[in-house]
């Protein structure tokens, strides 16, 4: 069934009340629902898309919707220089560009163990217009209003007990047993699923993830030498959001594939400036959002504790001896900083060590 816009009701029994239903949304929610076969099919399809090899292959019509975080000025320049054509309509495209993180979020819904986040097997009753009067008369609404312009459905958890009045009404109704998730204000999930449905029906469509394309459009980016880093350092140290925005703009024009490690370590060095209460943000610059999403896709969590951050860097760069030396030195400094106690002159100091991932 996919995603439909509908007016959702749930059984809601509490002491001292004879009401059997509660209305959940005045304007109507969207629900994602599948029978067992469709659920398994889409689950496998999404997993395969996530694991597909990285490839930047363009068709004749390219769709970049709101789920792509690539800087639009860079895309415009790249498309013009390579004579590529965009389209504003998904159904006319044969190439779709979007951020992989949105696909991962959809995959999490199909695989999550958390009740609030997953597709759960439930009984779903769909009601025709002639049933609306009963439902409206027997619903307690948060807004004291119901909107009969939307179709009604009733979602019941497996094994849930209903009161006699509701059971009597449902006696001649046949439910569907479906995997269901209520998508309340989850517009990105609705959008990404529209992509997946289109790709499922049109297997010839190319998929390009932001993090793969940003490496291509930034391959002619600036070299991040010591002078450039020194300039960026001073801009961050100023603690001025205007200076930081300019620094982020400069970073977004650096060759991300070549300098991702350097940029991640630089951001981690300054991350305390963006803590709660400091009034500074890394997200005020639209161009830099693509870099943040790139790091998310690579699991480079520069804003985390140095132990988690360095572990993920180590895993990502384990096959590059030069990068590993830089990461080892970063860990070395952090360990010795931890061992140093205040201003004391005598403290434990580690000269050398061997790194590996624990089994």
For residues 11 and 115, membership in a common domain is answered with yes
Structure tokens at 188: 């990105």
| Domain-located, residue 15 | yes
Annotate 208-242 with b (16+ C-beta within 10 A) or e (fewer): bbbbbbbbebbeebeebeeebeeebeebbeeeeee
**Looking at the domain assignment, is residue 245 inside a domain?**
yes
Cα–Cα dist 125/177, whole Å: 9
Q: Going residue by residue through the chain (359 aa), what tens digit of pLDDT does each one get?
A: 566 666 666 665 444 444 445 545 444 578 888 999 999 999 999 999 999 988 899 999 999 988 998 888 888 889 999 999 999 999 999 999 999 989 999 999 999 877 777 898 988 888 876 776 777 676 655 555 566 666 778 888 777 777 777 788 888 889 999 998 888 778 899 999 999 999 999 999 999 999 899 888 888 778 888 898 999 999 999 888 889 888 888 888 888 888 999 999 999 999 888 877 677 788 777 778 888 888 888 888 898 889 999 999 999 898 999 999 999 999 999 998 888 877 677 788 888 888 888 87
Q: What are phi and psi of 106, to 5 degrees?
A: -65, -40
Residue 226: CB partners within 8 Å, gap ≥ 6?
A: none
- Domain for residue 359, yes or no? no
Give the start-end residues of each E strand in the chain: 2-11, 21-23, 29-34, 62-64, 86-87, 95-98, 120-127, 139-141, 152-157, 176-183, 206-209
Do both 129 and 263 map to the same domain? no
Strands (E), 128-266: 139-141, 152-157, 176-183, 206-209
Sign of CA dihedral 133, 137, 140, 144: positive
Alpha carbons 121 and 107: distance in angstroms, whole number: 17
- Cα-based distances in Å from 245 to 43, 251, 258, 261, 273: 40, 10, 22, 20, 13
Say if residue 10 is in the same domain as residue 108.
yes
Is 221 within a domain? no
Euclidean distance between CA atoms 160 and 303, whole angstroms: 43
Q: Are residues 289 and 144 in the same domain?
A: no
Same domain, 131 and 38: yes
- Whether the CB-CB separation of 151 and 7 falls below 8 Å is answered with yes
Element (H, E) at 292: helix 286-297
CB 324, CB 317: distance < 8 Å: yes
> Does a structural domain hold residue 267?
yes
Domain final position from 153, 186, 213: 213
Q: Are residues 204 and 235 in the same domain?
A: no
**Distance between CA 209 and CA 214 in Å, rounded?**
9
Is 128 a domain residue?
yes
Residues in the chain: 359
Residue ending a domain, choose from 213, 240, 257: 213
Of 180, 213, 246, the residue at which a domain comes to its end is: 213
Domain assignment of residue 352, yes or no: no
Residues 190 and 242 in one domain: no
CA distance 86 to 89: 9
Q: Tell me, yes or no, whether 52 and 24 share the same domain.
A: yes
Which tokens hold the place of 228? Answer: 């450039």
Nearest by Cα to 256 from 299, 296, 216: 216
- The three-state (H, E, C) secondary structure of 167-192, written as one string: HHHHCCCCCEEEEEEEECCCHHHHHH
DSSP reduced 3-state for 207: strand
Q: Please tell me the total count of domains within the chain.
A: 2
pLDDT of residue 18: 46
Which pairs count as long-range contacts for 219-222, CB under 8 Å and 24+ apart, including other chains?
219/255, 219/257, 220/255, 221/253, 221/254, 221/255, 221/256, 222/250, 222/253, 222/254, 222/255
Q: Are residues 47 and 122 in the same domain?
A: yes
Residue 144 within a domain: yes
Supply the range of the domain harboring residue 298: 226-339
- Report the DSSP pairing between strands 152-157 and 62-64: unpaired
- Give yes or no: residues 235 and 189 share one domain: no
pTM: 0.74
Is residue 266 domain-shared with residue 209, that is, in the same domain? no
Question: Cα(137)–Cα(132) distance, rounded to whole angstroms?
Answer: 8
Same domain, 209 and 231: no
Q: How far is 96 from 62, CA to CA, in rounded Å?
A: 6
């Amino acid at each position: 069934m996919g995603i439909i816009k509908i007016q959702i009701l749930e059984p809601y029994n509490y002491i001292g009340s004879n009401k059997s239903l509660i209305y959940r949304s005045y304007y109507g929610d969207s629900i994602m629902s599948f029978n067992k076969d469709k659920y398994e099919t889409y689950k496998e399809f999404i997993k395969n898309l996530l694991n597909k090899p990285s490839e930047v292959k363009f068709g004749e019509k390219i769709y970049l919707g709101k789920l792509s975080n690539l800087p639009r000025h860079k895309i415009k320049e790249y498309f013009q220089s390579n004579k590529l054509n965009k389209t504003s309509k998904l159904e006319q495209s044969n190439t779709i560009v979007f951020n992989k993180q949105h696909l991962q979020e959809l995959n999490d819904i199909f695989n999550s163990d958390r009740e609030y986040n997953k597709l759960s097997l439930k009984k779903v009753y769909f009601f025709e217009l002639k049933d609306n009067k009963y439902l409206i008369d027997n619903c307690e609404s948060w807004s004291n209003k119901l909107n009969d312009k939307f179709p009604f459905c009733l979602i019941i958890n497996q094994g849930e007990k209903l009161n006699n009045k509701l059971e009597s009404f449902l006696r001649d109704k046949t439910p569907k047993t479906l995997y269901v998730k209520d998508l309340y204000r989850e517009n990105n999930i609705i959008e990404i699923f529209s992509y997946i449905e289109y790709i499922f029906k049109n297997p010839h469509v190319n998929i390009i993830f932001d993090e793969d394309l940003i490496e291509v459009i930034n391959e002619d980016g600036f070299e991040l030498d010591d002078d450039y880093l020194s300039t960026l350092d001073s801009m961050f140290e100023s603690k001025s959001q205007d200076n930081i925005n300019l620094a982020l703009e400069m970073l977004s024009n650096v060759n991300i594939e070549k300098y991702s490690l350097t940029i991640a370590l630089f951001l981690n060095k300054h991350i305390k400036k963006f803590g709660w209460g400091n009034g500074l943000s890394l997200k005020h610059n639209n161009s830099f959002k693509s870099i943040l999403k790139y790091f998310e896709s690579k699991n480079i969590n520069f804003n985390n504790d140095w132990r988690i951050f360095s572990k993920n860097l180590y895993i990502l760069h384990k096959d590059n001896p030069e990068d590993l030396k830089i990461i080892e030195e970063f860990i070395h400094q952090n360990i010795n900083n931890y061992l140093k106690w205040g201003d004391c002159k005598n403290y434990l100091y580690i000269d050398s060590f061997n790194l590996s991932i624990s089994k």
